[in-house]
A = this chain, B = another copy of it.
Amino acid sequence: MKQMELAVIPGDGIGKEVVPEALRVLDVIAEIHGGLKFSSTHHPWSSEYYVEHGEMMPKDGLSQLTQSDAVFLGAVGDPALVADHISLGGLLLKIRREFEQVINIRPAKQLKGIVSPLANPRDFDIMIVRENSEGEYSSIGGSVHSGEDEIVIQNAVFTKKGVSRVIQYAFELAQQRSGRVTSATKSNGIVHSMPFWDEVFKEVSTNYKNVQTNSEHIDALSAFFITKPQTMDVVVASNLFGDILSDIGAAIMGSIGIAPAGNINLNGKYPSMFEPVHGSAPDIFGKGIANPIGQIWTAKMMLDHFGELEMGTLLLEAIESSMQSGIKTADIGGSSSTSEVTDEIIANLRN
């Protein structure tokens, strides 16, 4: 029996609604598999927790997570209770950083049964590989002078180590896929970090002669996600560019409510973390109408990460069938409830 220990953080808002749904699905997956079991420890860390305790997680929070095989997160943030930079910084970004989850992977894939906002949604299947630890998201910077003379400097920091490992990861992944890596750059406008990024991309690419490559400026590439997404396979990008591209990816898929993500630890010292791309959506929380597919597809990414590729494929097919049969939440044009969608996915799995 393969036993996977999940550290579960439902977090805020609809995170609390969709995480239990995904866990229901995972139990069914385990049952079908026969030789797989999930056990989970729940952590109530959230904006509400902050209001009560003055911190997003206990002092020893991280060490409570380290023994797990993966962190399974819902959504973080409730601006009505805590400012975003505190809630995100104190939980989501803290785990990404402290657990050295240096890569963020997000698929943008045209699923069956969903209406795309694109008029001609060709059959696209992109995996965005985002640098998750440095780049434009450095906290280095500050200001000089005040009032009308104020000048603020923000530093972006790109290390050879950070850039080459994310690019290498992208090439490895491409070898298991269609064998193409597109690099997001902006070396024509951002003249230090981006030419460096391009250089490292070129250097790493020489080790993967069987992988096709191209480089596109982020402005043009963002447009290509709309005009020709079917031409992309693996897209590798800096922290900021990957962030932007993955939201565009979610949009062309038809709803941010279905998009999943994995934050990958590469050195094996800490667990990886899986979380949907959507936020906590306080506006629809409590109504039972949140789309559970983002969280369930996230569970599929976690299965892949555990090496359970067959189960992952099965689950994605069950998700697609649920949408094809019209059992959908409102964000993708249906009128089903969160639990009805989950029930349908489970029924599809059992078929």
Contact = CB atoms under 8 A, between A and B. Distances in A.
Interface of A: 84-85, 88, 115-120, 136-137, 139, 141-143, 147-161, 186-194, 196, 218-220, 222-224, 226-227, 239-240, 243-244, 246-248, 250-252, 256
A66 to B, nearest CB: 25
A223 B247 contact: yes
Given A120-B117, A218-B244, A219-B246, A193 B160 contact: no
A234 B165 CA distance: 40
A165 to B, nearest CB: 11
Nearest to A147: B160
Contacts of A187: 85
A89 B84 CA distance: 39
A141 B191 CA distance: 8
Nearest to A158: B152
Given A219-B247, A222-B222, A159 B151 contact: yes
Contacts of A190: 136-137, 154, 240
B244 A244 contact: yes
Contacts of A220: 247
5 contacts: A118-B119, A149-B160, A151-B157, A222-B222, A226-B226
Contact of A223 (B116, B157, B193, B250): B250
Nearest to A218: B244
Given A186-B240, A189-B243, 12 more contacts: A85-B187, A118-B118, A118-B119, A141-B193, A148-B160, A152-B193, A152-B196, A153-B156, A154-B155, A218-B244, A222-B244, A223-B250
Contacts of A252: 226
A239 B191 CA distance: 14
Contacts of A84: 188
Contacts of A116: 119
Contacts of A141: 191-193
B256 A223 contact: yes
Contacts of A256: 223
Nearest to A250: B223
B189 A117 contact: no
B154 A117 contact: no
